[in-house]
Amino acid sequence: MKKPIYLDNAATTAARPEVIEAMLPYFGELYGNPSTVYSLGASSKQAEENARGIIAGTLGTDPKNIYFTAGGSESDNWAIKATAEAYATKGKHIITSKIEHHAVLHTCEYLEKQGYEVTYLDVDENGTIRLEELEAAIRPDTVLITIMYANNEIGTIQPVAEIGRIAKAHGVLFHTDAVQAYGQVPIDVDAQNIDMLSASGHKLNGPKGIGFLYIRKGLKLRSFIHGGAQERKRRAGTENVPGIVGMGKAAEIAAKTMQERTDTERALRDHLIGRVLAEIPYARLNGHPQNRLPNNANFCFRFIEGESLLMLLDMAGICGSSGSACTSGSLDPSHVLLAIGLPHEIAHGSLRLTLSHETTKEEIDYTVDQLKMIVEKLRSMSPLYEDFVKHGK
């Protein structure tokens, strides 16, 4: 199979060769369990602590505050459920937004069934929460604000530092799902008053099956996975040493290359958006025009449906996404696109293209050329387009 043009880097990324190279010894000759006393185990322990140190450095915090997990969803589950449990005597109210990832939304829905109350904040047409609504939603029994750093579908970046300030002023804990943002934008957990932060390895050219939760020192969060004394007794289970090493390497490269890489991606992404909006009629950009992840473009094309679009793009060798991959099993359009106020029939025609450091201008130009033909083909067979042309509706 010819190498596809991969524009679905928000779904997952290819691990960098340096990452794979760093991981390999820990599958083979350096297989020791980090919890053991002999030197084979000690080398695993050392590699793990090295990765922890790198990651802590990227967030401006102490390595002791980084807890490795199996990924973003586990980190979100842990942060939200453990906070709810630990602070239940203070109150049972949580604030989140309508555009969170399902790892947060479904965890909140689970807690609602356990007697917790959840406020789901609306977002504006760009997908940004309104700070005054957040502040007004805080009650004496509010224990947690969980708002994502940047949205996985439309790329909108939330005013995280302001949210942190509001949370701190009201004595409420603040968790952010930074799965899409980590490695793409600079984060400082102290300056931004972030109490907990979730991240995942495979979104930043690291391996799958590894992530971490940052927990501010002093928070009385209990263990989520019970068992051995790993991760300072807060997350049991023999560590995924190759994964941890790979995530550390990926985080190191992501931090080192951030400025240059995101400048290049942003320029290419803006070229993509510019061409699509100029050359394809009845197209719109979803998400904030400026405050968005540097590699994210999300469009709606009226009168056509997203899955057909993705299938024809795939035939042209282009990988994209319509809504989030997790949404594709359901028949409803994305909750994020509905939350920014799009009607159902327009939300059905969405396309997300997310770039990587390997994306080239030639690939973008080829994609737009193909997209123009595909959108035209699908419109030519769309009864909605026929009605629009004939009756203007």
Residues tagged active-site: 326
Q: Which two tokens stand for residue 91?
A: 């109150």
383 binds another protein (CB under 8 A): yes
Binding-site member from 311, 358, 361, 389 for another protein (CB under 8 A): 311
Q: What are the C-alpha distances in Å from 149 to residues 97, 134, 296, 379?
A: 11, 15, 14, 36
Binding range to another protein, per CB under 8 A, among 2-10, 44-52, 98-106, 303-311: 303-311
380 binds another protein (CB under 8 A): yes
CA dist., res. 228 & res. 322, Å (int): 41
Nearest CA-CA partner of 216 in 173, 252, 255: 173
Q: Which is nearer to another protein, 20 or 338 (CB)?
A: 338
Q: How far apart are the first and last CA of the chain?
A: 43
- Tell me which H or E stretch contains 31: none
* CB contact burial 362-384 (16+ within 10 A = b; e otherwise): ebbeebbebbbebbeebbeebee
CA dist., res. 42 & res. 20, Å (int): 21
Binding range to another protein, per CB under 8 A, among 227-235, 282-290, 292-300, 327-335: 327-335
Would strands 196-200 and 142-146 be described as parallel, antiparallel, or unpaired?
unpaired
Would strands 142-146 and 173-177 be described as parallel, antiparallel, or unpaired?
parallel
Q: Which is nearer to another protein, 211 or 349 (CB)?
A: 349
Nearest CA-CA partner of 242 in 8, 28, 18, 42: 28
Instruction: Report the phi/psi class of residue 117: left, alpha or beta, with left for phi > 0 and alpha for psi in -120 to 50.
Output: beta
CA dist., res. 185 & res. 33, Å (int): 34
Q: Which is nearer to another protein, 263 or 307 (CB)?
A: 307
Instruction: Yes or no: say if 222 and 86 are a contact pair by the CB < 8 Å rule.
Output: yes
Binding-site member from 17, 28, 115, 329 for another protein (CB under 8 A): 329
HSE of 189, CA atoms in CB hemisphere, 13 A = 29
308 binds another protein (CB under 8 A): yes
381 binds another protein (CB under 8 A): yes
Binding-site member from 21, 122, 307, 369 for another protein (CB under 8 A): 307
Q: Which is nearer to another protein, 274 or 343 (CB)?
A: 343
335-374: contacts with another protein (CB under 8 A): 343-345, 348
Q: Which is nearer to another protein, 51 or 342 (CB)?
A: 342
Q: Which is nearer to another protein, 263 or 386 (CB)?
A: 386
305 binds another protein (CB under 8 A): yes
384 binds another protein (CB under 8 A): yes
Binding range to another protein, per CB under 8 A, among 154-162, 171-179, 249-257, 326-334: 326-334
Binding-site member from 34, 243, 248, 333 for another protein (CB under 8 A): 333
| Shortest Å distance, C-beta 385 to another protein | 8
124 class by beta-carbon count within 10 Å (0-12 exposed, 13-18 middle, 19+ buried):
middle
Binding range to another protein, per CB under 8 A, among 59-67, 116-124, 276-284, 300-308: 300-308
| Shortest Å distance, C-beta 356 to another protein | 25
Binding-site member from 66, 273, 304, 355 for another protein (CB under 8 A): 304
- Looking at the DSSP bridge assignments, the partners of residue 68 are 212
| Shortest Å distance, C-beta 341 to another protein | 10
Catalog residues that contact another protein under the rule CB under 8 A.
303-305, 307-308, 311-312, 315, 329, 331, 333, 343-345, 348, 380-386
